[in-house]
Amino acid sequence: MNKISLDVDLKTGGIVIKTEGYTSVDDYDLFNIVNATEVPESNYAGFIRSRGTIADPKAMQNNDEIFSFFYAGYDSENQPAWSAELTVGSEGNIQPGIVPSYFAFKTVDQKGIANIVFRVNSDKTVGFNPDALTTNVDTSQPSKFLKIKIGNEYYAIPAYLIK
């Protein structure tokens, strides 16, 4: 039997949606946003965060997380274990009407340690964590070059096809 429930977590005040009994055969999605419009904009789901309270919001500060999607699976002891996260946070000088931001991809390695493996910064730079990345790379021929800024210098790095 398929079940769905909507609860409020009394400790955090967060909304919890629970489903049980659905399989891939059911062609079921937990959450859908459907929109039909004559304008080119797409659907929006807003995540608005401040410091302070709902009644008295305060400005964000540099490096505050705005919102994170986290992904977890059940481990070998049948407990939920965090395994990946997509995070948006504030970065830089917060001004009226402007909250510069970053977008980070985090994964958990074989030792259970969370690592930022990829980050897009507000200054239009992209960061990779080479210690957290392992890939099979075809190094026989670079297909393109990446322009990377380190300090005040720009470098052309050959980009290879990842297999």
> Residues 89-147: pLDDT tens digits?
999 999 999 999 999 999 898 898 888 888 888 988 777 765 544 444 455 555 566 66
Looking at the structure, tell me whether residues 152 and 128 fall in a common domain. no
pLDDT digits 0-9 by tens, 26-70: 555 566 666 667 777 666 667 888 898 888 999 999 999 998 888
pTM of model > 0.85: no
Looking at the structure, tell me whether residues 82 and 20 fall in a common domain. yes
Looking at the structure, tell me whether residues 127 and 145 fall in a common domain. no
pLDDT at 76: 94
Looking at the structure, tell me whether residues 19 and 78 fall in a common domain. yes
Looking at the structure, tell me whether residues 94 and 143 fall in a common domain. no
Q: How many structural domains is the chain composed of?
A: 2
Tell me the Cα Rg of the chain: 21
Looking at the structure, tell me whether residues 8 and 36 fall in a common domain. yes
Looking at the structure, tell me whether residues 158 and 99 fall in a common domain. no
Distance CA 97, CA 92 (A): 14
Distance CA 44, CA 24 (A): 27
> Under a CB-based contact definition with an 8 Å cutoff, are residues 6 and 15 in contact?
yes
Distance CA 156, CA 143 (A): 13
Identity of the amino acid at 121: N
Q: In 108-147, which positions are buried (b, 16+ CB within 10 angstroms) versus exposed (e)?
A: beeeeeeebbbbeebeeeeeeeeebeeeeeeeeeeeeeee
Looking at the structure, tell me whether residues 147 and 76 fall in a common domain. no
Looking at the structure, tell me whether residues 7 and 31 fall in a common domain. yes
Residues spanned by the domain of 161: 134-163
Looking at the structure, tell me whether residues 85 and 161 fall in a common domain. no
User: Which carries the bigger pLDDT value, residue 139 or residue 13?
Assistant: 13
